[in-house]
Amino acid sequence: MKAGLFPGSFDPVTNGHIDVIRRAGKLFDKLIVAVAINESKDAMFTLEERTELLKAACKGIPRVEIICFEGLLMNAVKTYGTSAVVRGLRAISDFEYEFQMAMMNRELDPNYETVFLMSSPSYSFVSSRMIKEIVKLGGDVSPFVPPAIAEALKRKHKHG
């Protein structure tokens, strides 16, 4: 069975993430979506909240498993026995960063493979960072995130 791993902070999960998950899910027998603990990012949602929101957003997508991981991506790849890591690309700036990361991971493990999926044009400008900014400024993010995420963002914004 070929399994892929799609890591990210998913803070919050966007329609762009869901698009990549749906498309990557067709390439593998199983897709593990891995919520990463990233200490360098100022998270709006806790790890548990991000995991639950991702599960809600992925409900009904076949062959998807949601997990959490901390530390090196390579350790998660080995732990879950995945054959490739999936990364979404929105712009050239994403490619430069992702290319460096893929090459470093390949140096750490020569068997490591990365599959890059270009974002669908309708999501090419959507990022979690922008979603959080729109919410903080009182804007409507419902066109950019799944309904459960939009509701969670409204609740989070109201309660600070």
* Residue 133 in this model has a pLDDT that exceeds 70: yes
Give the model confidence (pLDDT) of 42-59 as tens digits: 789 999 999 999 999 999
What is the DSSP-derived secondary structure letter of residue 37? P
pLDDT at 137: 92
Query: Could you please report the per-residue DSSP string of 77-144?
Result: HHHHT-SEEEEEE-SHHHHHHHHHHHHHHHHH-TT--EEEEEPPGGGTT--HHHHHHHHHTT---TTT
**Catalytic residue flag (residue 41):** yes
Is 129 a catalytic site residue? no
Domain definitions of the chain by residue range: 3-158
Which CATH class for the 3-158 domain?
A: alpha beta
159 catalytic per annotation: no
Residue among 50, 87, 119, 128 flagged as catalytic: 128
Q: How do residues 108-124 score in pLDDT, each as one tens digit? A: 888 889 999 998 988 88
Question: Is 120 labeled as catalytic in the residue annotation?
Answer: no
Give this prediction's pTM: 0.91
**Is the pLDDT assigned to residue 160 strictly greater than 60?**
no
